[in-house]
Amino acid sequence: MQGELVPVVMFPRFTTLIGEADYETAALDVTDFDRAVLSFEQGVTFPGGGTMTVYFEDSHDGDRWFPLASASLATQIVRLDLPRRWFRMRISITGPAAITCWCAGTLRRRVA
C-alpha cells in the first residue's frame, strides 16, 4: 500500500538565480514522508561561462547536510528516498552566470 502524494514546490516556476553562489531552499520537515519525486527544469541560461550543479540533501538536525543526489542536466526527474528528518535543495552556481529554473513534484506519505 502506498501513501498519499502531496504536491511540493522547491523552486517556483521561473526563478532566476544570478551570480556565483549557493542558493538553498528552506529546510522541509519530511518526517511524515518516505519518498520524493521531483522534476527539475532549467530554462534560460544567460551567457557568462559559469556552471550549475543541483544538490538534493537531507539532515538529521537541520545543521549538518548529506547528499542524496546531484545533477547538472537541464531537465531531470529525480526519485529520492527520505531517510532523515530534514530535506532541502541547493543550487550551486560557479562563475559569472545566471539561470532560470524551477523544481516541483510530490512527497509520498509514510504508511504505518
Given a contact cutoff of 8 angstroms between Cβ atoms, the answer to whether 20 and 93 are in contact is: yes
Structural domain harbouring 26: 5-109
For residues 8, 13, 18, 22, the Cα torsion angle rounded to the nearest 10 degrees is: 10
User: What CATH number does residue 69 fall under?
Assistant: 2.60.120.380
Per-residue pLDDT tens digits of the chain, which is 112 residues long: 789 999 999 999 889 998 899 999 999 999 999 999 999 988 767 776 777 888 999 999 999 999 998 776 666 899 999 999 999 999 998 888 888 899 999 999 999 8
Classified as helix, coil or strand, 8 is strand
Looking up cell 562563475, which residue turns up? Answer: 95
The pTM score is 0.88
Given a contact cutoff of 8 angstroms between Cβ atoms, the answer to whether 11 and 103 are in contact is: yes
Number of compact structural domains in the chain? 1
Classified as helix, coil or strand, 12 is strand
